[in-house]
Structure 1
Amino acid sequence: MDVIISVGYRVKSKRGTQFRIWAIFIIIQPSLHQINV
């Protein structure tokens, strides 16, 4: 997870920001489903 986020921070562009948001969402989403269940 840290590697994905660090890559997103290194790429200082709109695409890098979108990738970072997408990656964080994909990582966090399953844990949110577990909490709701």
Structure 2
Amino acid sequence: DNELAEVNRLADVAWKRINNFISYLNKTEKRSKK
């Protein structure tokens, strides 16, 4: 049970990092098009 909670926590952190990276790429992409 505790192990599953740790996996969920790590997955949540990874998901947030991925979303931050995607939004960062979107921002730089829009800048380079201008």
Return the TM-score normalized by structure 2. 0.54
Q: Structure 1: any 5+ residue segments left out of the alignment?
A: 1-11
Query: What is the RMSD computed on CA atoms of the aligned residues?
Result: 1.7
Runs of 4+ in structure 1 over 3 Å off: none
Which structure ranks higher in relative contact order (CA pairs < 8 Å, sequence separation ≥ 6)? Answer: 1
The structure with the largest alpha-carbon Rg is: 2
Q: Structure 2: any 5+ residue segments left out of the alignment?
A: 28-34
Return the TM-score normalized by structure 1. 0.51
